[in-house]
Structure 1
Amino acid sequence: MTGIVVLGSTNMDLVTYTARAPKLGETVTGREFVTVPGGKGANQAVAAARAGGAVAMIGAVGSDDFGTVLRHTLEASCVDTDLLRTAEGSSGTAHIVVDDDGGNAIVVVPGANGTVTDLGPGDEALITTADALLLQLELPLSAVIAGAEAARRHGVRTILTPAPAQPLPPELLAATDLLVPNEHEAAVLTGIADPHAAAGALLRQVPEVVITLGQAGSLHASRTTEPLLVPAPHVTAVDTTAAGDTFVGALAVALVEGRPLPEALRWASAAAALCVQRPGASTSMPYRTEIEAS
């Protein structure tokens, strides 16, 4: 059995490090530029695999050099790429500015990801083998909905990261078991800035929510339990680019392994804390031994 299937994006991250991000119409000088394999789907797949999960990836890379690197990066982390398509043309790219405080601003160009509009041959069969399906919103919504509904038909747990933040169709919410937004995404989805109140509003749409709160940790809420706030380890952030994806990947592994919820949230927070202390996306994600030792 494949423990975790990820239906999501693969991007090459084009990252510029600078003292501060430019304002509209302004030019600033950066100190470093790097290319790093990423994309929210691929990030979550790598994070889950490094955390010890058996992971398979559904999505698409381009026929360009970036596509070759993206596929190799997933395979190097032991992610099954048998159903990762190759689309003619460019791979997805993410253009990222990281400032001295570790904050980031990102522009995503979908490329090959935009060709994934539905499940392809073998995709649903693979989903049926999983304990959990991880979804994000960097693929066309039609594919995300198709994946979630396939998982629901076969009793597979769906974990949705609603990023980039956008209104969620009722049919996607109806097929979502666990929603994992950050504070900003929760506010966009509900119009409510306070995470506790936002969590309550989201529970009217999905049965379970985890809102990530950055340095403040994470907030779990469900329709059947009291809210649970789990603090995060105190660390100095270097680059927060893949922190949320690392959290979700590690959390999925912990839940699939049957860990108690408080332990699963602490474990995921430890993984994210290790991630933000390193530059890059997939390159910054910790391995299971590192998480266990932290």
Structure 2
Amino acid sequence: MPKITTKDGTEIFYKDWGPKSATPVVFHHGWPLSADDWDNQMMFFLLQGYRVIAHDRRGHGRSTQTFAGNEMDTYAADVAALTDHLDLKGAIHVGHSTGGGEVAHYVARAKPGRVAKAVLIGAVPPIMVKSEKNPGGLPIEVFDGFRAALVANRAQFFLDVPAGPFYGYNRPGAKVSQGVIENWWRQGMMGGAKAHYDCIKAFSETDFTEDLKAIEVPTLVMHGDDDQIVPYADSAPLSVKLLKKGTLKTYAGLPHGLCTTHPEVVNPDLLAFFKS
């Protein structure tokens, strides 16, 4: 399995499919998943002639189950190490949920020429937790609840999330896929409990405001307005206002995991943005 080793000895697993001469698209997964969450999009864009790359964030999937470094600065540094190793130029970075935060944090710091465009899907920026500066955010008690559930019974928690709010399967009339639920569980349980615990703080309390302001490349912000994990009103519209070249695409009634539940909607919109 292809891996790179970072400065602190962490092994980062990655997939790299397609011709090296093609435009690279780098996919960044959400918590607590892995590169496998992008299988649909990777196959779609591979068949469209792109070079597709996805990594397992440290502590997730097939990467090292790290005790330390489970925060955005290190996540972004890991991405930089990967892009340097692969010598990517003019890449498009696509992040979902926590991965959207990782994209914002990396792209704001990327070496000149490395990044051409960025996409934030159901992403956590600007900041999730409620505060005086962010009155529309979620109370810290929500995230404390995530941590408590993870410690008490991670296996059950990692069934409850996809079976309910993540894919909108708790909505009346939802078309539930047991395979999708079990695949979410499989990916989650591959990672490390400590890293997943730490990552809750990383995705909920990191303030990406300055990152968004610093991004120079065209950035597409995609979000379902029935997102029960990263509420729409306190995320996508606020992010677009901070971006220099931001475009907002809102999906009526779609859930947090829209890339999985509605790839026939998401993929063509991504393709159009890539080609624009």
Report the TM range for the smaller structure's normalisation: 0.3 to 0.5
**Structure with greater helix percent:** 2
TM-score scaled by length of structure 1: 0.35
Larger strand percent: 1
